Amino acid sequence: MCLLSPLSEKECKFGLAEALRFGILNDKKLYIKIKENDLNYFRKRSKYIIYKCIKNREKIIKKMCQKNVNYVNILNFGNVIGNAIKSVFNQTSNFENYKNKYNIYGIYYELKILNEINKINMLLFIDIEQIMIKYNLNYKLNTNFLNYYTKDIITFLQKTYCSNENNNKIPIIHLTDINKIKPDIIIDVPLSIFCKVLSPIASISMCSNFISSNIYYNSQKRKIININNSNFLFIKNVGNKSETIRAIYTSCMSIQNVVLKNVNLCFDVVLFIKILKDLKFSISLKKKAKKKAKKMGEKKAKKMGEKKAKKMGEKKAKKMGEKKAKKMGEKKAKKMGEKIYDKIYDKIYDKIYDKIYDKMCDECEECENSVSISGNVDKNDSNFLFKHFIFQDQIIFNVYNSGTVCRLLLPLLCLYICKQNLKAKKENKKLIKFIILKGNEQMESVRIISPLVNVIKKSFKYIKIIYLKKKNYLPIQISVKREKLKNYDIFLSNNIFINNSASSQFGSSM
């Protein structure tokens, strides 16, 4: 890369992908800077990108050398799948436009795998994916390509990383959050998970293999639950995603602090939380630590185990001791009785301990996911309703395939842009010119949104909504009309007719 000549877009994106990689691994400030800016900002600051990449590389090497850890492992983040994809590209001439971008593919798919095995949360994964979309980084491989070449990618991984010892497992970086890597650095992931993530159609029955090898692990005090013959995944606490989103919504539109427990973190719920966070709503996902469950399980198991084991152990030991005492002398019988007691006590204790330990851990797992919300309604300033706003000229939200998120979010965005414009004018800050709401192909051609848009146009006096592609469907552009905004008549609460034949959520959202 020549520093004296201006960078081409391809070079700039390659450098940005590297900067994003180091931001995820080691530099939260750099990650936030990438998230908050655009390609033009970094194109003018190419030396800054190179400097940051070099500095972060040095920091990782220094940090790992102090801990006597192989830094090469960390610098390999994204290279495991990246190199496998590169090897396939090198064998084909049909995919010239994909070449030299394998590093960003590797980062995306390794993050997707970490999300699949619950090492990083979906919120973080979606956040990073949104950055990749924003910079147009071509992070995702074509579905046809994957359907055709997944086998070659898996074969490369198997030949390169699998041996008889690690039993078809691939080592990747054990990342848990931005700038947070587990002390063990590497986590071995079953090859079946790679297959499932790369080509779900080709690996429908991989689920049971994953559960048996990851969730139920073998140890001295735990038994493997044999579910290898089952192709069904049993999920506890399945909730209604629509109800979960409504609970989060109403909690955000309050003045109180709310904690929602046992939250069903399906994609729609996580996406809704992410968009609210982007709108500066104070909301966070929390996971109850498994260590806590372990400690609680151990304490209870020890107490109850000792009591039960003592009673049962004494009875059994007494009976067996008495029988043997008849045959032997008293001294020998006493010794034998003690040995038998210890043997039986240990056996019973282990059995009871395992039972209680498993039960306690399961109970703690059930309430593991919780959402902490600090209501975003400002009780001291009813004119502006919200406590926090984004002050930028445009916002783009992707709802992917989530009709629920799209429908429940749309009126909120209309209210938000009006309130933001009033606040921005008062404080002499940036007004939002428009908000774009887009989705995937299905949302943009099949899932109708016009009944809700029609109602919004009648209810929100200052709101202007334009269909950007196909009439009646996403993407849409929301903006404020040029006439002077007045706080008291933003929303006109007249009697209105809502056609909810396509979805009952049109009514709910209003």
The encoded tokens of residue 54 equal: 């070099």
- Rounded to the nearest angstrom, the gap between the alpha carbon of residue 368 and the centroid of all alpha carbons in its chain is 14
Distance CA 370, CA 166 (A): 35
Which of 234-248, 459-473, 479-493 has maximum average pLDDT?
459-473
Burial degree of 239 (CB within 10 A; 0-12, 13-18, 19+): middle
The encoded tokens of residue 432 equal: 């939002």
Q: Which domains does the chain have, with CATH numbers?
A: 9-198 (1.20.1090.10), 241-282+375-480 (3.65.10.10), 288-363 (no CATH)
pLDDT band at 341 (very low <50, low <70, confident <90, very high): low
Are 187 and 198 in contact, with CB atoms under 8 Å apart?
no
Residue in 222, 106, 75, 92 with CA at minimum distance from that of residue 145 = 92
Is residue 215's pLDDT more than 80?
no
The model's pLDDT over 86-130, given as tens digits with 9 standing for 90+, comes to 888 887 755 554 545 688 999 999 999 999 998 998 889 999 999
- What Cα–Cα distance (Å) separates residue 442 from each residue in 400, 403, 438, 439, 445? 9, 10, 11, 8, 5
The encoded tokens of residue 117 equal: 């095995």
Residues in the chain: 510
The model's pLDDT over 465-477, given as tens digits with 9 standing for 90+, comes to 999 999 999 999 9
Q: What pLDDT, on the 0 to 100 scale, is given for residue 432? A: 93
- What Cα–Cα distance (Å) separates residue 249 from each residue in 185, 373, 404, 500, 502? 37, 10, 12, 20, 22
Q: What pLDDT, on the 0 to 100 scale, is given for residue 299? A: 64
Is residue 437's pLDDT more than 80?
yes
- 433 or 367, greater pLDDT: 433
Runs of H (alpha helix) within 44-142? 46-66, 71-75, 79-91, 102-116, 122-134
Are 146 and 112 in contact, with CB atoms under 8 Å apart?
no
Which single residue is written with the structure tokens 């004296």? 4
Q: What pLDDT, on the 0 to 100 scale, is given for residue 129? A: 93
The encoded tokens of residue 283 equal: 């909301």
The model carries a pTM of: 0.64
- Rounded to the nearest angstrom, the gap between the alpha carbon of residue 35 and the centroid of all alpha carbons in its chain is 17
Runs of H (alpha helix) within 328-402? 330-366
Q: What pLDDT, on the 0 to 100 scale, is given for residue 241? A: 83
Is residue 247's pLDDT more than 70?
yes
| Whole-number percent of the chain with pLDDT over 90 | 30
Q: What pLDDT, on the 0 to 100 scale, is given for residue 206? A: 35
